[in-house]
Structure 1
Amino acid sequence: MDADVPPQAPLRGRRRFLLGLVTGAVVMALAGLGASTFVKSPQQAAAEAAAPPASLITATVERRVLREDVVLRGTVEPDRALEVTPVLGSGRSVISRRVVKAGGRVGAGSVLAEISGRPVIALTGRVPPYRDVHAGMTGSDVRQLQAALRELGYPISDRAGVFGASTGRAIRRMYQSRDYEPPLEEVPAAPDPAPSAGVGAPAATPAKRVYLPMSEVYFVRTLPARVAAVKAGLGAEVAGPILTLSVGGLVVRGTLPPADRELVDPGMSVEIFDETSGKKAPGRVTTIGELRQGAGSETGHPITISATGTLPASFTGQEVRLTVTSATTGEEVLVVPVSAIFSAADGATQVLRVRDDRREPVTVRTGASAGGFVEVDGAGLAEGDQAVVGGRTGGARPDGTG
């Protein structure tokens, strides 16, 4: 044996053995701890699989005005369309000046058109002109003319239905105030009882007096009216209607679905909304017709809406949205969602109120309903209370009835 090599110490080997033993024990302990996280008892597994406890969904009792609305579409049209076809005079009849345009207002005394240099004047009346009216004539047409002239502010002292001097003066003023020469005709010469003494004396200038050609007036039953369309432009030869007048104002016509018929009645308020311009106008249901069969949405009841005021001229021909208020409480009432109402075992109508985590059934009387809410009246129920409308989980109803 070599004397220079020291002998191995017996304690070093023992330390190595103990260190390995401790390390192995720690590793086994950690492995056991990790495995224990994946092992669950049957009781723990069942508890984790069970549904969580049910929680309540509540809504606030509030005050509001309840409204039930019916929405439909309609088209803005004249209440009554009148095709203006003037009586033509002799000679060629051509539109010689543009006077009115679509959407323009036509009142009593307005010039509807100028044909071959002569006006066609709108007057109020029911009977169309059927003859030229001359001084000395009598009849219902003369009476109608006199009434129309008085409407324009011209005084007439002639007997009703008799074309006298004051009627002639009124006609003259009507033309002159519109910058037209009044129509004149020669007065028939009275027979000369004796031959003229002067040979070669100049002939007297024939006297002239005013009259009214039937081609230069157009009687409209209701004025003012509005020009719905111009059918004959400048230079066009007149061979038929030259204008379409909307008489009696603009109305909206649409179709009410059969399912909504019981909700809507004449007289109900309507909001008329033009989606193109963003303008709104109030109106009322005027008429509802009998059910008409058609294709798809065309089946329904014809409905007419009249504006409370005057519809803007820009609405003419537009499709608009109509919102009919079919029912309203008129004032704020106490309401809850419909889902908050339930029937108790004794048949009473109740709301389940929640206060301090306690559920208290409150018996109520219900009233109007609209938009998912119902009017309620119950002792102790007040604005701001919380009413149960459902639960997030669980199969039982909030009132425990299942």
Structure 2
Amino acid sequence: MGEQRARGRLRALRWLPSRQWVLPGLGVMAVAAGCAAAVGFGGVGQGDDSSGTSTLPPGTATVTRADLVDYLDVSGTLGYGPASALTARAIDDAAGGGTAGATGTSPADGPADGRGTGAAGTSGSSGTAGASGTSDVAGGGIITALADVGATVGRGQPLYFVDTRPIVLLYGAVPAYRALRAGVAGDDVRQLEENLRALGYRGFTVDKTFGAATTTAVRRWQTDLGLPVTGVVPPGRIVYASGPIRIATHTVEAGAEAAGEVLTFTGTTKLVLVNLKVENSRLAVQDAPVTVTMGGVGSTPGTIVKVGTVATAVGDGAGGGQQNADLTIPVTIQLTDQAQQYPYDGAPVTVRLTAQTRSRVLCVPVEALLALREGGFGVEVIEHGTTRIVPVTVGLFANGRVEIVEGDLTEGTAVGVPK
């Protein structure tokens, strides 16, 4: 249909010899010569010919000043980023044993600033599996409760319970790889002491040494949690993450043996993921502002926080086969208003990506452009019943209009367009 309309416009231009119009959908089109009238350059004009047939363009438009925005609307998915998994491992509260520590890392999609100490909601429901991480209980132990799916777990809060005793989230980058007790020293000791102080425990110095004062603080912490009061922290009793985490799914139900993968989790920052075609990658600029539109909320601002560098083939393409598939890169967007209530996780959204903006520039409809024989573009200016061709330099094309960077044009000037 678009091509038929464009060809109809082309037929309507036959009154002007050797003119080339830039038509939407067809590019530059040459119009056949043969009419007696001619249009010159730099002010050579034409009015009505002796036959009574008008040599004026079949349509007119006006040179205006406007804001031009080069943008693309793409589909995205609301969520919290990729999920990681938490896997149970051995705990020995009595001996402070366990040969490896409990670790967990939440995706780095937001600041680690949560400090909650109250218990998160717990549930016995099941879910699906996710990525990778670690916790602790070998050779027995039953999972008696799990933090609810969708719950945010902060520093000092339980992720799940084994034999009614909590596996607790703390903040830090060093995995729990050994039992911490009086006499040991290292970065992992400082990390534990930083967490104890953030949770309100005092009477010790935050340093790299686990001394008698630290043992006393640990014993108070264990008492508050209902744990065996040993002054020793087995690695499987704690899980470290960079900040608060959100429970994504349960891999097991309450009543299952505490072994293997238990749950999956994400960060707590609300994100949108867009799989952007590589051909449109110019629109994905780190830290660039975007507009996200979703049902029940309308439009809300966001910022591009990550642009993937590895392309993935999606689909088989029109001709079939991997070689015809669309290549996409992942683009992650952080929503500006994190307090806003958004639709469910996985909800479809529309993201407007903006490449360029020009404010208050002279512009004309794209169809007003003429392709000049000597190269470049011009527009046909209509003045006092005559026309002249004005060469122009063009800039941004957007929304059916084109920026005029240079040319003898002023706002309000009438220019010719195909009908």
The TM-score by the shorter chain falls in which range? 0.5 to 0.7
Counterpart amino acid of residue 410 in structure 2: A
Find out whether 1:383 has 2:411 as its counterpart.
Answer: yes
1:85-100 to structure 2, matched below 5 A, reads 85-89=87-91, 92-98=140-146, 100=147
C-alpha contact (below 8 Å) 1:172/1:182 kept by paired residues: no
Q: Deviation of residue 305 (structure 1)?
A: 1.7
Deviates more, 1:335-344 or 1:115-124: 335-344
Find out whether 1:211 has 2:232 as its counterpart.
Answer: yes
Counterpart amino acid of residue 135 in structure 1: A
Q: 2:346 aligns with which of 317, 324, 327?
A: 317
C-alpha contact (below 8 Å) 2:165/2:227 kept by paired residues: no
Match of 1:244 in 2: 264
Q: 2:393 aligns with which of 359, 362, 365?
A: 365
C-alpha contact (below 8 Å) 1:133/1:212 kept by paired residues: yes
Match of 1:192 in 2: none
Per-residue CA distance 1:241-271 (angstroms, 9 max, x = gap) = 2221113745444433243245544444333
Per-residue CA distance 1:60-79 (angstroms, 9 max, x = gap) = 32222211223333334544
User: Could you tell me how far apart the structure 2 residues matched to 1:379 and 1:259 are?
Assistant: 32
1:1-400 to structure 2, matched below 5 A, reads 56-89=58-91, 92-98=140-146, 100-155=147-202, 157-158=204-205, 160-175=207-222, 180-185=225-230, 210-220=231-241, 222-247=242-267, 249-262=269-282, 264-275=284-295, 278=298, 280-284=300-304, 286-296=306-316, 299-307=326-334, 309=336, 314=343, 316-329=345-358, 331-343=359-371, 349-377=377-405, 381-390=409-418, 392=419
Q: Deviation of residue 153 (structure 1)?
A: 4.2
Counterpart amino acid of residue 299 in structure 1: D
Per-residue CA distance 1:74-124 (angstroms, 9 max, x = gap) = 3345445321223343685333344x3222222222221222221111011
Relative to 1, partners in 2 of residues 1:359 and 1:254: Cα closer, same or farther, differing over 3 Å?
A: same
Q: Deviation of residue 389 (structure 1)?
A: 1.0
Q: Secondary structure at the match of 1:150?
A: helix
Choose 1 or 2 for highest CA Rg: 1
Deviates more, 1:271-280 or 1:158-167: 271-280
Q: Deviation of residue 336 (structure 1)?
A: 0.5
* Structure 2 segments unaligned to the other structure (5+ residues): 1-50, 93-138, 318-324
User: Could you tell me how far apart the structure 1 residues matched to 2:360 and 2:216 are?
Assistant: 64
Identity of aligned residues (%): 28
Per-residue CA distance 1:342-361 (angstroms, 9 max, x = gap) = 25566674332334544354
Relative to 1, partners in 2 of residues 1:346 and 1:253: Cα closer, same or farther, differing over 3 Å?
A: closer
Aligned length: 313
Relative to 1, partners in 2 of residues 1:74 and 1:363: Cα closer, same or farther, differing over 3 Å?
A: same
* Structure 1 segments unaligned to the other structure (5+ residues): 1-49, 186-209, 393-402
Output the aligned Cα RMSD. Answer: 3.5
User: Could you tell me how far apart the structure 2 residues matched to 1:356 and 1:122 are?
Assistant: 80
Relative to 1, partners in 2 of residues 1:171 and 1:272: Cα closer, same or farther, differing over 3 Å?
A: farther
C-alpha contact (below 8 Å) 1:249/1:310 kept by paired residues: no
Relative to 1, partners in 2 of residues 1:135 and 1:67: Cα closer, same or farther, differing over 3 Å?
A: same
Counterpart amino acid of residue 192 in structure 2: L
Per-residue CA distance 1:5-50 (angstroms, 9 max, x = gap) = xxxxxxxxxxxxxxxxxxxxxxxxxxxxxxxxxxxxxxxxxxxxx9
Query: Given the two structures, how large is their TM-score scaled by the length of structure 2?
Result: 0.63
Counterpart amino acid of residue 219 in structure 1: Y
More helix per residue: 1 or 2?
1
Counterpart amino acid of residue 74 in structure 1: G
